Amino acid sequence: MFSSSLADAPLVREPLHAPVAHLVRGGIVEGIHYGSVVVLDADGEVRLRIGDIEAAFYPRSAIKPVQAVAMARAGLPLDGELLSLTAASHSGEERHLAGARRILELAGLTEDHLRNVPDLPFDPVVRDSWVREGRLPSRLAQNCSGKHAAMLYTCALNGWPLEDYLDPGHPLQQAIAEIVEDLTGQRIAGVTVDGCGAPLFSLSLHGLARAAARITTAAPGTPEARVADAMREHAEMASGSGRDVAALMRAVPGLLTKDGFEGVQVAALADGRAVAVKIADGANRARVPVTAAALARAGVDPELLTEFAGEPLLGGGREVGRVRPVRSLQPVAGAARA
């Protein structure tokens, strides 16, 4: 079923992470965030590597654009906002819940068919409002409900069983695994269960960046291009109001980016330049500025990235420091900008 030209699965080992960001307070390094970073040129060559970009790891929700492509290849007819929601880790806003309901309606299904775990909305403001109103956790509110609704729709269209659509041996999950391997260019190292209950495939950080570049450079009208267009044009549906990934796609023309739990982020430009980041301790305070620095290293104009430099560290109510990416992530003087 899989191409013999695929590279071997990445090795399962303790990742050899390296420093990627310093916590600087009052001019002194107070803490160090370790992780790994890869930056690819438009031709797919590695421009920069920090840490261990070839070890097996879990991309978490950063793999959702690939899963959305797999469903589109399997006949999922969604576009625009609903296709963006398919690849989303959404905030649980009413538009996200309405979109997930709409996907289920198109499939002739209801929320009862979902098998993701019930949860409160991801966005803290929305979540607090739910709690005040006495609303309970629901499968629609859980941040992966768009993906799960689209999985069910894909199954319905293909005549695949609905009850066990999360089983790794299910035809849907086998189809997704095949596209994960196709777009990353390497065999999957292992399969576990993500937080939402869906199968989670282990690959390398390098493979994740390759997959993002494959999606953004695909020909117009292909499933890959449809997913990229939907996420870029409807960034808030792929995340939520006030989320850094949506703001980053608005700030950088042509950029596709997706975050994942435990400090993962992938991003790619229309010409194929791509970056992937894994923060070893899972800290968002390092993920955002390190991703921005990696994009600047890839040639994105740093002026487009200033709002992603990281939140200030406060002392006595005033700024006394920041999380700063390591020096090797700083842009090279004279490099092309986009």
Q: Provide the pLDDT confidence category of residue 4 given band limits of 50, 70 and 90.
A: low
Q: Three-state SS for 37? A: strand
Q: 324 forms bridges with which residues in the sheet?
A: 22
- pLDDT tens-digit map of 119-142: 999 999 999 999 999 999 999 999
- pLDDT tens-digit map of 184-225: 999 999 999 999 999 999 999 999 999 999 999 999 999 999
Q: Report the pLDDT value the prediction gives residue 1, as an integer from 0 to 100.
A: 35
Judge whether residue 271 has pLDDT over 80: yes
Judge whether residue 333 has pLDDT over 60: no
Q: Provide the pLDDT confidence category of residue 18 given band limits of 50, 70 and 90.
A: very high
For residue 208, the surrounding DSSP H or E stretch is helix 205-216
Judge whether residue 338 has pLDDT over 50: yes
Phi and psi at residue 152, to the nearest 5°: -65, -40
Q: Cβ atoms within 10 A of the Cβ of 49, count?
A: 17
Judge whether residue 336 has pLDDT over 90: no
- pLDDT tens-digit map of 155-168: 999 999 999 999 99
Hey, what's the torsion of the CAs at 260, 264, 270, 274, to 10 degrees? -160
Q: What is the mean pLDDT of the chain?
A: 95
Judge whether residue 3 has pLDDT over 60: no
